Structure 1
Amino acid sequence: MTTILLAIAAYLIGSISFAVVVSKVYGLSDPRTYGSGNPGATNVLRSGNKGAAIWTLVGDAFKGWLAVWLTIRFAAQLGVGDGAIAVVALAVFIGHLWPVFFRFEGGKGVATAAGVLLALDIWLGLATLATWLIVAYAFRYSSLAALIASVFAPFYYGLLFGVEPQLFAVLVMCGLLVWRHAKNIGNLMAGKESRIGSKSKGAAAAAKKK
């Protein structure tokens, strides 16, 4: 029962869409209405507001980190183990993908996944983030960086800790992340994917109307 309650709490935390909340605070258009339509930091950046994009990134990563860190921190008191931690890791990520507070229209989960990995282990998170940064810097494609980092994250976990319940959670999380990037994969293959920092015409037009 404790694990179920923790999973529900984690899902609700994950359901807070910082892309939508931060955009409202900054007076920007709903990120689901322009660019890729994805409520995430990369799409918010297409609005031209770097501050909003940074806060979206921080918020989405923080919620993933918070849910997992709290579970690890109070695992002994709650009487739960690695299985519950794995369930919480998945629940907060799924909350971001399908948020109950925003008609189940969520993001792709890159920042939230990063937060989860950092909470599971700082070196795991940093290694995955370094992979993302290297690919993003080299190719300027956020989606490509996310896809490659998603492939490497389970490998890093297995290398560091071997086969544990959390490894299963990382595998499922990364599999979902790749699945959510299906359209981006098609765009990359067709040479139509937007590069990091490119401004959305739809966002610019919406901003002018305000």
Structure 2
Amino acid sequence: MVITRMLGMGDLRKIGSGNIGATNVLRTGNKPAALATLLLDSGKGAIAVLIARYFLGETAAQVAGAAAFIGHIYPIWLRFHGGKGVATFLGTMIALAWPVGLAACAVWLLTAVVTRISSLSALVSAAATVPLAYAFGHRDLMMLAAGLSVLIFWRHRSNIARLAAGVEPKIGKKG
């Protein structure tokens, strides 16, 4: 939302799905703005994790990642109507355990290439993160990944309904 306002593109909440995330920014047709949104949203999770880990350790890093994620999906400054949290989730996972995070990103990318549906890619990636954490030996990350994944599914309720109805928009389609 900050990026679109800075670029004079208006209130992102009144474009496409009304979501403040990178996929909706992409619906404006401005790919650099969508990339900037993706990087900033993922960065907020990663930076929170890295700072907390440096000063307070691994448990604090997980708490900071969860807080950044929850703050993104329920921001006070937007009256608790934020994004769906996928980029922040992935940035958090990369910072907590880079093999898990990068594998989750790869799952998102593969699903997106095959289906061209961002929400389905997000759901598949979130669902894959717990088994990925297990597979890569990061069992300490499984509870956090599960909790954040549940919130991603919750935030994607309307997308799930559109997926079931076969009317979910494809990546790159303007809203």
TM-score after normalising by structure 2: 0.95
Structure 2 CA distance for aligned equivalents of residues 48 and 144 of structure 1: 21
The one of 107, 114, 125 equivalent to 2:83 is 107
Structure 2 CA distance for aligned equivalents of residues 161 and 177 of structure 1: 23
Q: Unaligned stretches of 5+ in structure 2?
A: none
Structure 2 CA distance for aligned equivalents of residues 162 and 195 of structure 1: 33
The amino acid that maps onto 1:151 is: A
Contact 2:97 2:138 in 1 (8 A): no
**Bigger CA radius of gyration:** 1
The amino acid that maps onto 2:69 is: F
Aligned residue in 1 for 2:47: 66
The one of 95, 102, 114 equivalent to 1:138 is 114
Contact 2:19 2:84 in 1 (8 A): yes
The amino acid that maps onto 1:34 is: I
Shift of 1:162: 4.7
Structure 1 CA distance for aligned equivalents of residues 139 and 40 of structure 2: 30
The answer to whether the aligner puts 1:174 opposite 2:149 as a matched pair is yes
Q: Unaligned stretches of 5+ in structure 1?
A: 1-19, 76-80, 201-210
Contact 2:73 2:81 in 1 (8 A): yes
The amino acid that maps onto 1:73 is: Y
1:1-210 equivalences in 2 (<5 Å): 20-75=1-56, 81-164=57-140, 166-200=141-175
Structure 2 CA distance for aligned equivalents of residues 188 and 128 of structure 1: 21
Deviations, residues 96-138 of structure 1 (Å, cap 9, x unaligned):
0011122221000010001001101111111000000000000
Deviations, residues 143-190 of structure 1 (Å, cap 9, x unaligned):
0000000110011112222532x3211110111001111110110111
Shift of 1:48: 1.1
Contact 1:63 1:115 in 2 (8 A): yes
Aligned residues: 175
Bigger mean CA offset, 151-160 vs 133-142 = 151-160
Identical residues among aligned pairs (%)? 43
Dislocated runs of 4+, deviation >6 Å: none
Structure 1 CA distance for aligned equivalents of residues 125 and 3 of structure 2: 26
The amino acid that maps onto 2:53 is: I
* SS state at 1:137 partner: helix
Shift of 1:30: 1.3
